[in-house]
Amino acid sequence: MTATYGRNDNAHATPGSFRIPCRDGRLAGDRPRSARLSQQADPHRPRLRAGIQPRHHRPRDFAQPDEHPGQSVIVEPKPGAGERTAAQYLTTQPADGYTLYLITGGANVISATDPQVTFSTLRDFSYISTITLFPFALFVAANAPCKTLKDFMAAARERPGKLNYGHAGTGNTLHLAVELLKARTGFQIEPVAYKDQGQLISDVIVGRLDGSISTFTNFHSALNSGQARALCVTSQERWPFNPDVRPVAEDVPGYEVVSWLGLAAPAGLPADIATRLSKAVKIAVAVPELQTRLRDVGNEARASTPEQFRARVVADYDKWKPLAKIVYP
């Protein structure tokens, strides 16, 4: 069995029955601690257990020992170019249920906005289930004069092009979440890309940045220490783990950006295998220990049917496609 996921370059793979490619870098918020999936599409082939780990864990930590002897999980990282390497690898594999891709919403952004990308999230993948969902938030320094998103947008309108916000990289979901808000409201604020998340947070705290789009996980310490505040959250409704933070949609009706992590397979995966795998994910994410671990890093465990997952991918793709000109002018 082969699964696709891409992580960091210091990962290693060992011989076995299951391989996973994912993107290099963090799993946004974008970052659950652990998740396991077990499935048996064919009694003559091994079961799958795969995991999702945060940024400081090695990909081999994804492999969980199976209760059945003689079965193993191999984590095969496919790092490089965001998720492009892992996604392209998947398109070369057979749609037999033994090659899976641990995909994030970032791959969908790439597919929708990069004119040179070699894969299409609409054409090349079968979707099995989401595993977790997570929103973003707009953060400011604790002593910033803006108390609400309305205040922030009003300040930007009073000083067009003078305010700025930090994000984790041009063209990723975080960057485009703010660009989508700008497109829908008309206020102007200048993006500043950061490679170092720690520096970004520090610059928000000291006021070098007027704000930052990030995750509750990244700003956890700054929030708890009273050095930063969350003005708004990008989910359409109040996020259950941070219910005191107003959604953008309360001021900008219809606005929503919620990213995700899930399992995909090559296009043409038989429906019965997709359904079986989806049911396995549903069982896995219902485990209380897993839900707690995901919640601790700001993620909601959320399984779906293959149809629901594809509908989410299509809706997000349509949302990001018009912003391609911002990423590649």
Map out the domains of the chain as residue ranges.
Answer: 2-134+258-327, 137-250
Of the two residues 52 and 115, the one the predictor is more confident about is 115
Contact present, 319 and 56 (Cβ < 8 Å): no
Domain 2-134+258-327 homologous superfamily, CATH: Bordetella uptake gene, domain 1 (3.40.190.150)
Most confident of 40-54, 66-80, 248-262: 248-262
Burial (Cβ within 10 Å: 0-12, 13-18, ≥19) of residue 18? buried
Alpha-carbon span 46 to 261, nearest angstrom: 24
pLDDT over 60 (residue 61): no
Q: In whole numbers, what is the pLDDT of the chain averaged over residues?
A: 79
Ranges 16-20, 124-128, 145-149, 192-196: which has the least confidence: 16-20
Residue 51: pLDDT band with limits 50, 70, 90: very low
Q: Report how far apart, in Å, the C-alpha atoms of 242 and of each of 1, 68, 302 are.
A: 39, 40, 17
Q: Is 317 left (phi over 0), alpha (psi -120 to 50) or beta?
A: alpha
Alpha-carbon span 12 to 76, nearest angstrom: 7
The length of the chain in residues reads 329
Question: What is the pTM for the complete model shown?
Answer: 0.78
Alpha-carbon span 201 to 209, nearest angstrom: 9
pLDDT over 90 (residue 71): no
> On the CB side of 203, how many CA atoms lie within 13 Å of its CA?
19
Of the two residues 46 and 147, the one the predictor is more confident about is 147
Domain 137-250 homologous superfamily, CATH: Periplasmic binding protein-like II (3.40.190.10)
Q: Report how far apart, in Å, the C-alpha atoms of 260 and of each of 25, 145, 201, 299, 303 are.
A: 15, 32, 23, 9, 11
**Domain pair 2-134+258-327 / 137-250, same fold:** yes
Ranges 194-208, 248-262, 277-291, 311-325: which has the least confidence: 277-291
